[in-house]
């Protein structure tokens, strides 16, 4: 589906309501977080959502992420579901999702996996990076590998980077990989192996100077770039962003992060089906 303008804005406001409750829980329990990826970019460049964006990302140091997983199910309230690959074997993403019950955000991937995904905010753990560059690269590649295996296990309908004949070949390869992943692995094993690799350097004091989001192949950050997170305006509210947000965005998106991309590059995650239900946030 493609969003109508009013529908996209309504979705953004529902997600903003979820973010407000995540912020409430984190402040009450002293949990460090920051707006991550495109959400941080939106805060800095637009003072809120990137106009065409349709999701919210939050990052946390691993220790704070684990504490959030413990306290959030009760303190977020009954209208939310906190989903992780350890609590929901149908979830392909190897990080947490805070979903609003009674809503639906259905993609081809979630439909194939049998994952009942509501409107959500993604919560990503950041882990210490191995101090040895070769070990750090191996850590990064293995994390990306296990996340890719998880997506391929749960669905053969993977978004591929190319179109035409090359895209058809890529989709065929994904179908074969999907079958192989189903034969060789279980969701529990995939999540366990991902966590082992992601946290392999967490007890190394030398590694604690650098952190990286283990879910994707992006650069690592000096801790002082991320922590202590600072408050910034986002959609008229105050949320936390990385300590040196300009350096964070430069590392994430390059020197031209403050410039708008061409219209053909302005993408989002429009689902196959979107239902707002009777959510109290649906008319924020």
Would you call 176 exposed, middle or buried from its count of C-beta atoms within 10 A (0-12, 13-18, 19+)?
A: exposed
Is the pLDDT at 132 greater than 80? The verdict is yes
- Per-residue pLDDT tens digits for 105-123: 999 889 989 999 999 999 9
CA distances 20 to 48, 207, 240, Å, are 13, 32, 11
**How does residue 172 score in pLDDT terms, banded at 50, 70 and 90?**
confident
What is the Cα–Cα distance from 120 to 18, expressed in whole angstroms?
7
Say if CB 229 and CB 241 are below 8 A apart.
yes
Q: Which residue carries 């992780």 as its tokens?
A: 84
Q: How many residues does the chain have?
A: 284
- Per-residue pLDDT tens digits for 35-53: 999 999 999 999 999 999 9
Is the pLDDT at 281 greater than 50? The verdict is no
């Amino acid at each position: 589906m493609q969003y109508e303008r009013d529908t996209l804005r309504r979705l953004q406001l529902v997600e903003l309501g979820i973010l407000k409750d995540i912020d409430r829980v984190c402040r009450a329990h002293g949990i460090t977080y920051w707006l991550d990826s495109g959400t941080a970019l939106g805060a800095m460049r637009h003072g809120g959502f990137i106009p065409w964006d349709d999701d919210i990302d939050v990052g946390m140091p691993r220790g704070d992420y684990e504490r959030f997983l413990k306290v959030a199910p009760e303190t977020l309230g009954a209208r939310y579901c906190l989903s992780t690959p350890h609590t929901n074997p149908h979830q392909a993403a190897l990080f947490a999702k805070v979903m609003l019950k009674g809503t639906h955000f259905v993609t081809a991937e979630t439909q194939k996996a049998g994952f009942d995904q509501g409107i959500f905010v993604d919560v990503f753990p950041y882990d210490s990076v191995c101090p040895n560059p070769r070990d750090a690269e191996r850590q990064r590649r293995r994390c990306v590998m296990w996340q890719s295996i998880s997506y391929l296990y749960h669905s053969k309908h993977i978004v591929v980077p190319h179109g035409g004949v090359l895209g058809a070949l890529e989709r065929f390869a994904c179908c074969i990989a999907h079958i192989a992943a189903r034969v060789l692995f279980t969701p529990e094993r995939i999540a366990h192996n991902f966590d082992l690799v992601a946290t392999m350097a967490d007890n190394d004091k030398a590694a604690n100077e650098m952190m990286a989001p283990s879910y994707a192949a992006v650069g690592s950050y000096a801790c002082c770039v991320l922590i202590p997170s600072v408050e910034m305006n986002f959609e008229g509210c105050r949320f936390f962003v990385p300590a040196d947000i300009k350096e964070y965005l430069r590392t994430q998106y390059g020197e031209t992060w403050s410039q708008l991309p061409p219209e053909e590059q302005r993408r989002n995650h429009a689902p196959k089906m979107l239902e707002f239900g009777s959510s109290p946030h649906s008319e924020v």
